[in-house]
Structure 1
Amino acid sequence: MPSQSLETVVAEIAAEMAARPDRGQVATYIPELGRVDPNQFAIAVALPDGSVVCAGDCATFFSIQSVSKVFTLTLALGLAGDRLWNRVGREPSGSRFNSIVQLEHERGIPRNPFINAGAIAITDLILSGHKPREALAEILRFMQFLADDDSVYIDQAVAASEERTGFNNRALANFMKGFGVIENPVEYVLGVYFHHCAIAMTCRQLAKAGTFLAHLGKNPATGNSVVTAERAKRINAVMLTCGHYDGSGEFAYRVGLPGKSGVGGGILAVVPGKASVAVWSPGLDASGNSHLGRIALERLTARMGWSIFGAPADMGVG
């Protein structure tokens, strides 16, 4: 059992991260993200009673980028059920998040829903039968519902920046279109994809949005049932094995929780039965995951005994 309260641990971790000189590198390949101040850090822990323990820049909105893929996967499973897995796999990629090489070997079927190709295929599924504006509005409403906050929004500047520079994503989408994996017009699919990656939230909102994954598909504070317990289990499993691109094994080894990162510097992590955790620090490591975010989560799980693999003592991790 932890000897300190959660509030104390969260505050201490935020102070430790603020003092670190190593902050990673912001994602300059998306110009709008390259302008974000790397000297920012936030951590938020959403608990079953609806309370949120926060420290750092918890009220600052940031682009969640690929963290949105957890929620588009949830939506798509609601629309298609397990038929979804005919179009997207469930295995770790071991490759860069925007790699086309693996896609060619596997005849246009993305390895999992969290690499870019997989998330584009999931977006195509959500788009089917809708106009792009309608599909995007559905995704945004879902995020606002989960966060219980209508101030969640799409950062149009970030979306435009991604559209101007998203050449690799266009290549992935066109490649999948050639294999019949993408059914809708590529530009429609990419328009929705770029915009849902540009959803902006605070750490507090993101932690609250992930609460259903920590509690068998239901938000215990509101009583809202989002998915079945079985489906929540499956989503968490894919997050654990695939949520950090080619750094997923390292994240599982060090943090020991299901999680999903984004190149905006956010990470959503799930402590089954206990909490949903969001961290944000814009500087990334070599795999495209938040450098300080991962260290903070490693310290949190060690000090609170929250790893799903056991509760090692805090040995000065990170």
Structure 2
Amino acid sequence: MTIAAEELAPLLAEIAAEASGRFGEGRLHATIPRLAQVDPNQFGIAVATLDGGIAKAGAADVPFSIQSISKVFSLCLALDYLGEDLWERVGRNPSGLRFNSLTRIEQEQGRPMNPFVNPGALVVADCLVDRAATPIHTMIGLLRRLAHSNRVSCDYEVAKSELSMAFRNYAAAALLKEYGNLRGEPRAVVHAYTHFCAARMSCVELARAALPLANEGRDPVTGAQILPPGRSRRVNSLMLTCGLYDAAGDFAYRVGLPAKSGVGGGIMAIVPNRMAIAVWSPELDPLGNSVAGFAALERLARDADLSVF
């Protein structure tokens, strides 16, 4: 069933009004000092439909650090460079451990479980460092084209803050290098990966950027084929099974949509052949997902009947 963006506007307004009731239930991400300084009492939501429509509510135009949501877009770039050969270096299964676990690297002999845990994203970043002349500019350029917005940028202050505390990512990169699954120099790979995560955009921009994943890889605004046919389904399947850290199963049960979250408080969700959704609220639950954002997507999926199941 097709839903026009304007039909969702009243529901989004209700969801945004309810969101303030969840403020104080979570905590800001403290591992990245810059993110710990964000105003916690914020919520935004945007829906982009395949006909080009946008519905939004709350702080939907306020830019935020997308963090691990960037892993979806870096994966798409790496698949452009390597195709199916990428899966020789990274798996496609949930890890069963924390997203920054070093244990799994040793257990799997240097082949990360999936591209959305940090070690897997480091392997993906390594592919881009190896193939792209300017990987950070390549990533930001892709996000700008998809979002149709030159306002999308890399927040270098967030990246600097994150690099100051990136000890576990440096350790993961060193382990991957020892196992022969990192071509580049570990510090250079961590540097690129961190700047990918520091991409800064709003809910409206993020929802627009995600539209090709809801449209068989095609940008519905320009008609350009961004991803090869069939790839969006594969990327969406990975988001469904691995996209929300250790809460992926709970999210699939309660919301029923492919999605990817980030510790900046954002969640990007896909409704295949219908729309893309972005929510943002900075306070996180113990598993690293936005408290208000998770609740908002649960209500939106229920009331608008959006589950893929």
TM-score by length of 1: 0.94
Tell me the distance in 2 between the aligned counterparts of 1:21 and 1:202: 20
How far the C-alpha of 1:221 sits from its partner, in A, is 2.4
Tell me the distance in 2 between the aligned counterparts of 1:82 and 1:35: 40
How far the C-alpha of 1:18 sits from its partner, in A, is 2.0
Within a 5 Å distance, the mapping from 1:211-290 to structure 2 comes to 211-290=211-290
The residue that corresponds to 2:79 in the other structure is 77
Point out where structure 2 has 5 or more consecutive residues left out of the alignment: none
Q: Alignment partner of 1:273: what SS?
A: coil
Question: CA deviation digits over 1:287-311, x for unaligned, max 9?
Answer: 11111111100000000000011xx
The residue that corresponds to 1:303 in the other structure is 303
Question: CA deviation digits over 1:118-156, x for unaligned, max 9?
Answer: 00100000111445xx11111110010000111100001
Contact 1:61–1:201, Cα closer than 8 Å, also in 2: yes
Tell me the distance in 1 between the aligned counterparts of 2:268 and 2:124: 19
Within a 5 Å distance, the mapping from 1:152-231 to structure 2 comes to 152-231=152-231
Tell me the distance in 2 between the aligned counterparts of 1:90 and 1:29: 27
Question: CA deviation digits over 1:254-281, x for unaligned, max 9?
Answer: 1100000000000000001110000000
Letter in 1 for 2:75: L
The residue that corresponds to 1:14 in the other structure is 16
Letter in 2 for 1:43: I
How far the C-alpha of 1:94 sits from its partner, in A, is 1.6
Runs of 4+ in 1 over 6 A off after TM superposition: none
Contact 2:207–2:268, Cα closer than 8 Å, also in 1: yes
The residue that corresponds to 1:316 in the other structure is none
Contact 1:23–1:38, Cα closer than 8 Å, also in 2: no
Letter in 1 for 2:150: D
Cα RMSD between the aligned structures?
1.3
Tell me the distance in 1 between the aligned counterparts of 2:108 and 2:75: 21
Tell me the distance in 2 between the aligned counterparts of 1:61 and 1:98: 25
Contact 2:282–2:290, Cα closer than 8 Å, also in 1: yes
The residue that corresponds to 1:64 in the other structure is 66
The residue that corresponds to 1:106 in the other structure is 108
Contact 1:28–1:34, Cα closer than 8 Å, also in 2: yes
Tell me the distance in 2 between the aligned counterparts of 1:222 and 1:293: 29
The residue that corresponds to 1:47 in the other structure is 49
Q: Alignment partner of 1:31: what SS?
A: coil
Point out where structure 1 has 5 or more consecutive residues left out of the alignment: 310-318
Contact 2:68–2:263, Cα closer than 8 Å, also in 1: yes
TM-score by length of 2: 0.97
Tell me the distance in 2 between the aligned counterparts of 1:32 and 1:65: 12
The residue that corresponds to 1:29 in the other structure is 31
Structure 1 residues 185 and 21 mapped into 2: Cα distance closer, same or farther (>3 Å)?
Answer: closer
Tell me the distance in 2 between the aligned counterparts of 1:44 and 1:229: 26
Tell me the distance in 2 between the aligned counterparts of 1:294 and 1:224: 31
Fraction of identical pairs, as percent: 47
